Amino acid sequence: MTANTNRYSTYTAASVASGADSRNSDKAEKKELWNSMLATVASGRRLPEKNIILLGGTVDSQREFFETLSNNDGRRTLDRNGSRMPPVANSFALGYTYYDVLDADHEDTLARISLYTLTSPSAAFSSLLQPLLTPQSIPNTLIVVLLDWSEPWKWMRQLREWILLLRTVLLSLSNECKETMEEVMLAWRDRGRGGGINLDGTTAVPTADGEMDLPVGPGEWEDALGLPLCVVCQNAEKMEYLEKTQSWKEEEFDVVLQFMRTVLLRHGASLIYTTPSVPSQLPTLIHSSLGIHSLLKKQPLKHNVIDRDKVVIPPNWDSWGKIRVLRDGFDVDQVSNGWSIDLDQPSPLPRPNGTTPEDGEVNGDSERPAGDPEGSTVALYEESVQDPSMDALQLAGRNTHSTTLEVETIDTQTFLAQQLKVLEAYKQKNEEASRGEARHKTYKKVEEEHLVGGADPERAAEAKVLEHIGPVQFNMGGIQVDADDMVQRLKERQAYGSPSEPGSPTVEEGIESTPHMDTENLQAFFHGLMNRRGASAK
């Protein structure tokens, strides 16, 4: 039996196998190393994404808000495409745009903010808002409601409709989203309090007794939405217009502010007044609410309740005591409890004619509901801050929804005909007054001549007869003529027609002292007519 002459070394085979395994392991380690490095670089370059759900306002006011937040005038860049503003698509239903938040040196990008806009509180749009709220996006989302100083008497009603819409959307989310919202609200309650985190990213100073958490005051965080809320009141320059045209005083402005602060305190919300083209703390408030802080320059957020057009109320700063100090006589407890009654209403709210807000309603400018519930804060607010146009219509006693003109004009020719009749009546009245005055002068002159000694007895008797029978009138060619008036006019015409020479008698002297005037013949003629009429009457 022959043996196998093929020999091989088991060591060599084992060493070859081990070498191959080591090379494969080295390649795998190098691959994992590069993957981890690439993932680290990619995650470092990935920008933090934040979301703003912008509710209310108009298309133009929303654009103004966006321009205020994304002001790129100070950016130093050579890339023209990079300096361009992103397009704003907010004309229909749910709009969208975005912008990048730059650091103080305008070199580093801190975060990218996406803005989702909605102008109408229609319940049909709730399905568009639900996909925006996920367990990942809820901690990085801020709700902003826009109001306008052109119509401050509508603020409370508009705010109620937006919050009712939000509550409808938030209640329809999944349990995971609701748990995330609870965690977010708990974190927000601790912001700014002892041991918590301020909005500017700094650590709050602990209390003196060593406690880390301050208790929540009355009316605070009683109706937390699950998301942080900020209310922006735009166009504060119109406060001066209200003061000049509607006779608003400091009391009216204080009442509006007290109502807003009391209501927003229940949601832990912030409040700010803004004016176009005037620097404000709006970017600081919005960015700090989203957790975006500059790495180079700290921008502290300061409250302001002194300047009426630059009001800033940060979250967790306000309280009932601070609201009462603004104006005495304001019932904070009643307003706060009434707001909870308003939020118990169904959404959408019913209308008197059976319509709902989605029937063509824009910007919460809705028709007044058939009746607000008893104790409603909205009704109390509208009683304190009344609509001037509604007051004018009520005083006029007209229907508030009438489209008729308040002043009806008449035809031009009809108006002129009426004025012509008035002028003719005045003319006739003046002519009668002038004739009566002329007769009075004649009677007075005859009486004076009768009283003067040596007066003609015949003229005295004539004066008595004239006084007894009154004015004598006769018809000449179809025209009724007053004899006394005619004689007086002839005398005046003769007097004015005589030349005025130096040394010549005056008009009155000529009438009295000239016995042989032409008017005497006419006067005798008229006297003869008068005597003839008297004789025929006998």
CATH of the domain at 392: 3.40.50.300
The owner of tokens 């022959």 is 2
Q: Are residues 458 and 322 in the same domain?
A: no
End residue of a domain, out of 396, 420, 437:
396
Rounded Cα distance, 514 and 319, in Å = 104
- Position 405 in a domain: no
* Contact between 126 and 172 (Cβ < 8 Å): yes
Q: Please write down the HEC assignment for all residues of 106-133.
A: CCCEEEEEEEEEECCCCHHHHHHHHHHC
Of 467, 479, 481, 469, which is closest to residue 435 (Cα–Cα)? 481
Q: Are residues 464 and 359 in the same domain?
A: no
Q: Are residues 392 and 426 in the same domain?
A: no
Q: How far is CA 496 from the centre of its chain?
A: 71
Q: Are residues 363 and 415 in the same domain?
A: no
Q: Are residues 209 and 113 in the same domain?
A: yes
393-422 confidence digits (pLDDT tens): 444 554 545 555 566 778 888 889 999 999
Q: Are residues 353 and 467 in the same domain?
A: no
Q: Are residues 174 and 63 in the same domain?
A: yes
* Domains: count for the chain: 2
On the question of pLDDT at 327 being above 70, the answer is: yes
Rounded Cα distance, 311 and 275, in Å = 11
- Position 38 in a domain: no
Q: Are residues 192 and 69 in the same domain?
A: yes
On the question of pLDDT at 329 being above 50, the answer is: yes
Residues in the chain: 538
Rounded Cα distance, 177 and 187, in Å = 15
pLDDT for res 261:
96
**Average pLDDT for residues 237-259, to the nearest whole number?**
92
Position 192, amino acid:
G
Q: Are residues 288 and 329 in the same domain?
A: yes
Highest mean pLDDT among 144-153, 501-510, 514-523: 144-153
Domain with 271, as residue range(s), is 45-396
* Contact between 361 and 162 (Cβ < 8 Å): no
Confidence at 514, pLDDT banded by 50, 70, 90: very low
- Position 515 in a domain: no
Q: Which residue has the higher pLDDT, 468 or 169?
A: 169
pLDDT mean across residues, the chain: 76
- Position 341 in a domain: yes
- Position 37 in a domain: no
Q: How far is CA 499 from the centre of its chain?
A: 77
Of 128, 133, 160, which is closest to residue 147 (Cα–Cα)? 160
- Position 36 in a domain: no
- Position 338 in a domain: yes
Sheet holding 270-273, edge to edge: 95-102, 109-118, 49-56, 141-148, 229-234, 270-273, 312-313
- Position 133 in a domain: yes
Rounded Cα distance, 50 and 176, in Å = 20
Question: What letter does residue 93 receive in the DSSP assignment?
Answer: S
Q: Are residues 95 and 219 in the same domain?
A: yes
Q: Which residue has the higher pLDDT, 459 or 351?
A: 459
Please tell me whether the overall predicted TM-score, pTM, comes out greater than 0.85 for this model: no
Q: Are residues 342 and 431 in the same domain?
A: no
Q: Are residues 427 and 331 in the same domain?
A: no
